[in-house]
Amino acid sequence: MRYVRGAMFMQGNHPVTTHATDIEWRILPGLSDYAATLAAMESRVAGIAAGSAPEAIWLLEHPPLYTAGTSANPADLVAPDRFPVHVAGRGGQYTYHGPGQRVVYVMLDLNRRGRDVRRFVCKLEDWVIATLAEFGIRGERRTGRVGVWVTRPDKSPTPDGLACEEKIAAIGIKLRRWVSFHGLSINLEPDLGHFDGIIPCGIHAHGVTSLVDLGLPVTMDDLDLALQRNFRSVFDPAQAS
């Protein structure tokens, strides 16, 4: 059990509500089955919408798999037999989840946080950018490319002469009764070769990277604590200390 600035994380399946933000933060051990996790997330969203459950953020890893968002192009599934493929129902296209990637499922009530989808997605990007900054990484957003990107001056420029950019975090959400679910994923140390089975997010011109690929020996615990610290500064600035 770890205490961080008045909030509490608990490893395992016992949820603990943070006192500062009234949000349940849960770290799930091992590799979480995708279908079971999705069903649990939908149940929690129903509880939040009904007022019978607190908002929640779940931090976890999945076994290797691909997920297809509502805009997925079948042609972007390059290796359909490589890993299981799940229809996610979230926005976006194809993405990969697997060991070494921190998946963050974000179940927040936008009825009280503001019914503005674009602003919410921007806040998710801001959260990732602030978290990466703790490790000296400059994450950036790009118009028309949801997610967080890093410039790679150490790599060759693109054929049109622009600096190489690679994606370090993907974002895809769904809303039900203005409660969010799904969320984001940050590449800590996944097998980047596993992304070769898809065109990630339908973007051909840019690749993917990770914290470790950028030369940073960050642990999952380091990343989790940075996510928790920076959440309040982005989503609950009045509560931030």
Active-site positions read 201
- Reference 239, options 9, 24, 16, 18; nearest CA is 18
Look at phi and psi of residue 20 and say left if phi exceeds 0, alpha if psi is from -120 to 50, else beta.
alpha
What is the DSSP secondary-structure string of 131-163? HHHTTT---EEETTEEEEEEE-TTSPPPTTSPP
**Using the 8-state DSSP alphabet, how is residue 108 labeled?**
-
Measured CA distances, 212 to 100, 186, 196, 217 (Å): 10, 11, 18, 6
Beta strands 55-61 and 16-17, pairing class = unpaired
- Reference 61, options 185, 146, 144; nearest CA is 185
**Using the 8-state DSSP alphabet, how is residue 192 labeled?**
G
Tokens of residue 107, six digits: 């179940």
Are the C-beta atoms of 210 and 192 separated by less than 8 Å? Answer: yes
Cα–Cα distance for residue pair 206/183, rounded to 1 Å: 21
